[in-house]
Structure 1
Amino acid sequence: MTQPIEQIVRRKLSDEVFDRLERMITSGELQPGDEMPSERVLMERFGVGRPAIREAMQSLANKGLVSISHGERAKVLRLTAKSIFRQVDLTAKIMLSQSADSLEHLKSARIFFERGMAREAAQRASANDISDLRDIIERQRASLGRAEEFIDADMEFHTRIAQISGNPIYVAVSEAMLAWLKEYHTEMLIWTGKEKFTLAEHDEIVDRLEANDVDGSETALLKHLERSRALYAK
């Protein structure tokens, strides 16, 4: 039986350089805040030309591993959950713009996620957390009629609930999903008077959180999101 051909593909020099630079970061040889070695040092170390170094460095920047400023050495970035999600912001928005199914899946994922956040927050909310949430609602109430400000306050409210968990990954997930959905949050919210429902529902959610009512908090948040999901449309 004839064996299938397994062609060996020669990699670009810049790909090899990228792998080595990435290992310098992941191994701890270079720490967050450190400057990357100069182009000349890297050219001598790896035995390649300047174009390969520059292309590899740009790939590192595109992946959020380093920052590049004109006239300065590239610096290693400290990776956080937030910075990682920011790397996929553009591609996520393109995916959503191309598929109605993807938008519906994101709405469903957000509801699933926030139900858990409400239950977590009901068990952990402090007096300061409750005070912050009520302050956000008041700022939201004061922005009635100004769509952009109202929606920003809405996003802040839901992210603040995620912050009660104390888990930065939850906060980053919340911020990312809300930012992606904001692209499709229509101004129907403002012009149809539905903002009054939003404010009342936010008040109810905070009341349940303050009472440490786990089931009631989830129910109030689920009711709120199921009603408002229709406001997100392609």
Structure 2
Amino acid sequence: MLRSEPIRRRRLYEEISSRIEAAIISQDLQPGDILPSERELMETFGVGRTAVREALFALQKSGLVKLTNGQKAVVAKPTADSLINELSGPARHVIAEPERLRQLQQARGLLEGFLARIAAQRATPQQIAELEKALVANREAIDDYEKFVETNIAFHYGITSITENIFIEGLHRAIYVWLKDQRTVSARAPGACESAYGWHEKIFEAIRDHDPDRAEQAMMQHISQAQDAYWRVIEAEAEVSAR
């Protein structure tokens, strides 16, 4: 049955942002197009300056327009970052529960395995060369904890970028943002950096050799071990705190 709840009346700024968004979706407004000034928008929609500014801020938050002080708003090009920003708040709330976090880790393993398989199938010589540079940077950072985490992310993102799909890139980067704590915690496990690099080397070699099965298997084993390391560290630190 339908719930008998009153329909909320939309605020002025929501109606304005909705109309501008519709123009962007229909491609009447293209990335790079300059929107009318605030005064012109006020006249177009018959509203006050506050409503126009709130609408523009809402569109900026959604990644649809870019705002710069003293200049007119510009239609933005969709990016992976805008997708991350939209999803990050709810995601952090959900994964505060350990069981939900485990589910996200499992989803990450499946996604990363798939990405490694696709990379092994599609990687061009130029993409393989770029991935090798990321691998070398990762190896050189083994003795530098913070740098290793940074180059670890770059290596995995290098694999993802081979898909040339902004939705997959956005999802992958979002998961990395949400699992930020896992990376830093896992790296505290004894020998974690050396182990991670070893797997990165195996994954790279499989991609370089265009062996999808080997690439996928190595990636999933790598992710599984990283997850196990995370929970070992968490459990060990909990035991210390309980003493």
Which category of TM-score, normalised to the shorter sequence, fits these structures? 0.7 to 0.9
In 2, distance between residues paired with 1:193 and 1:32?
47
SS at match of 1:88: helix
* AA in 2 matched with 1:157: F
Q: Paired residue for 2:240? A: none
Contact persistence 2:186–2:226 (CA under 8 A)? no
SS at match of 1:229: helix
In 2, distance between residues paired with 1:63 and 1:173?
16
Q: Paired residue for 1:83? A: 82
* Unpaired stretches in structure 2, ≥5 consecutive residues: 235-243
* AA in 2 matched with 1:176: A
**CA deviation vs aligned residue, 1:61-97 (integer Å, no higher than 9, x gap):** 121111222221111111134432233334433443x
The ranges of structure 1 where at least 4 consecutive aligned residues each deviate by more than 6 angstroms after the TM superposition are: none
SS at match of 2:119: helix
Given candidates 202, 205, 208, the residue that maps to 2:206 is 208
Tell me by how many angstroms 1:168 deviates: 3.2
CA RMSD of aligned residues (A): 2.5
* AA in 2 matched with 1:84: L
Note closer, same or farther for the CA distance 1:85–1:150 as it changes in structure 2 (3 Å cut): same
SS at match of 1:79: coil
Does 2:34 correspond to 1:47?
no
* AA in 1 matched with 2:194: K
Contact persistence 2:120–2:212 (CA under 8 A)? yes
* % identical equivalent positions: 34
Note closer, same or farther for the CA distance 1:47–1:165 as it changes in structure 2 (3 Å cut): closer
In 1, distance between residues paired with 2:137 and 2:101?
29
Note closer, same or farther for the CA distance 1:179–1:5 as it changes in structure 2 (3 Å cut): closer
Note closer, same or farther for the CA distance 1:75–1:139 as it changes in structure 2 (3 Å cut): same
In 2, distance between residues paired with 1:162 and 1:188?
21
